[in-house]
Amino acid sequence: MFFATSCVCHAIWLRNLLKEIGLIQEEPTEVCVDNKSAIALAKNPVFHDRSKHIDIRYHYIRECVARKDVEIEYVKSKDQVRYIYQAPTSEDFIRLRNLLGVTRSSLRGVLDHKLDPL
């Protein structure tokens, strides 16, 4: 839940920054979480006996969801791009890299002639 709160705070900060420069976000910012219990707590404002001891700062996520500033979505841990450097195989690394939109790039062959030394 802590990581989700931190992510939501950063998302709201970025939304406000974009708003200041005239780029208003009409759609809620999608926050991907791999904890179904955290998602249930964020989406359901109903008070439960088991949730009465939740730190007050975590209720901020509920407020942001209610205002439609953010949307909490479930994504499996293995599909979280934040785990790119913990990927156990090169195939996992490549799959997560592609989810980030990073492509292989090379400048080799761009210049047809050698640069003159100074």
Reported as a single tens digit per residue, the pLDDT across 72-88 is: 888 887 777 766 767 67
Tell me the CA end-to-end span of the chain in Å, nearest whole number: 57
Percentage of the chain beyond pLDDT 90 is: 21
Contact 8, 58 (CB under 8 A): no
Give how far the C-alpha of residue 5 lies from the chain's centroid of Cα atoms, to the nearest Å: 11
Q: What is the mean pLDDT of the chain?
A: 78
Percentage of the chain beyond pLDDT 70 is: 71
> Domain coordinates of the chain in residue numbers?
2-75, 79-118
Contact 33, 75 (CB under 8 A): yes
Q: pLDDT: is 24 or 118 the higher one?
A: 24
What's this model's pTM, rounded to 2 decimal places? Answer: 0.61
